[in-house]
Amino acid sequence: MKFLKLTHALLAAVLLAAAVSSCGDGDDDDDDEEEYPWENPGGGGNEGGNGGGNGGGGSNPEIIRMSPSEVLIPAKGGNVSVSVTAGGPITRAQSGESWVSSSISGGYLLTVSAGPNTGASRGCNVFVDNATGGMGSIVVRQSAGSGGSSDPGTNPDPGTSAPAAPTGLYVSDTGSAGAPNCIIKWNAPQGATSYLIYRSTSESSGYSQIGTSQYASYADQTVKVGNTYYYRVKAKNAKGTSDYSNTCRYEFSDTRKPGPAKITSATCSGSNITVRWSVPTDKTYGKPTSGSIRVADPQNGGTAVEVKSFSASTTSATFNYRPYVASSTGGVNFVVRLTNQHGYSEKAVIYNSKSNEFYY
């Protein structure tokens, strides 16, 4: 058995030949359920992806989006992390200002840092890009200060008592499945110099501190897709700590469809084809709940026929290919489809019964 992986250009030619011989008059079909890679060889490639695939070209540069889009560093200095919500992974970050520095972690987390500011407030942009030419930026501002590292960068006068509890706590922004995060904000009470952030998976109990902030917002970058969280905040100064703020709720719903199966091998024995694959683990994809093999039927204008269904944990399937051979080319066109409640992705495979070769 000989295996062959074609380039996109060669695969497109083979797909077009198979489509002409087995798909009838080639009328366009607006129903996404019946549109398959072999019916549109000039499309966005057969890897699923985000609509561009490898067949595009000439498109505008991708916009990299980050959350939050503006950060504030206190006068005494510090660092703030920003999550990439679209267009990642990023590969470079830079600014023309020497007072701010930046670092990248994992391609989806940007950390900006600054030392003490002894002068007026200042600001600049940090620009990022990725390996495909995508671009984006965030605004970095630093509070004014005159006391160097001893300047708290917030309200220097804590008053004579502990601050009141923060009010108006709410979720102001969220990340993506590729970069999960949750940004909460609140109204700052007078005299507060810092805040304690608490989180629980139960609204009524189980709160534990997950971080601190020197200004009235906090980015929780430890959330997980599919979980529900509850947040509360306390204000603090040199005189004491306030009661809890109101509670806000955040549910990070998983709306990702599965990615296309990664074909590892395909073999033919007698009348049967056996195809094997792995499920993509890219964090932009969700988990499949089921799957199927769908074959183009040349006796019915190339209409797809489901010949096998299987569970989410299945990574191989065998089916009888004989009824679906295109008489003029000897080709068998089929897809491995992975499905969940949010959609599906497909990977196309072609078997040439005359040369006993697979293309995928």
Rg (CA), the chain: 28
Are the beta carbons of 110 and 135 closer than 8 angstroms?
Answer: no
Q: How many Cβ atoms are within 10 Å of 286's Cβ, its own excluded?
A: 21
Contacts of 72 (CB under 8 A, 6+ apart): 80, 141, 142, 143, 215
pLDDT for res 177: 65
Question: Is residue 51 exposed (0-12), middle (13-18) or buried (19+ Cβ within 10 Å)?
Answer: exposed
d(CA 140, CA 75): 13
* CA pair distance 213, 193, nearest whole angstrom: 9
What's the pLDDT at 180?
A: 75
- For 198, other C-beta atoms within 10 Å of its C-beta total 18
Please give the pLDDT value at position 240: 93
Q: What is the DSSP string of 306-357?
A: EEEEEETT--EEEEE-GGG--TTT-EEEEEEEEEETTEEEEEEEEEETTTTE
Please report, in tens digits, the pLDDT of each residue of the chain (360 residues total): 433 444 343 333 444 344 333 333 434 444 343 333 333 333 333 333 333 333 344 445 678 888 888 888 888 888 888 888 888 899 999 887 888 999 988 888 899 989 888 777 788 889 898 888 888 888 888 887 754 333 344 444 455 689 999 999 998 877 776 677 888 999 989 889 999 999 999 999 999 999 999 888 898 888 887 788 999 999 999 999 999 999 999 887 777 889 999 999 999 999 999 999 999 888 778 889 999 999 999 999 999 999 999 999 999 999 999 999 998 899 999 999 999 988 999 999 999 999 999 999
Q: Are 47 and 53 in contact (CB under 8 A)?
A: yes
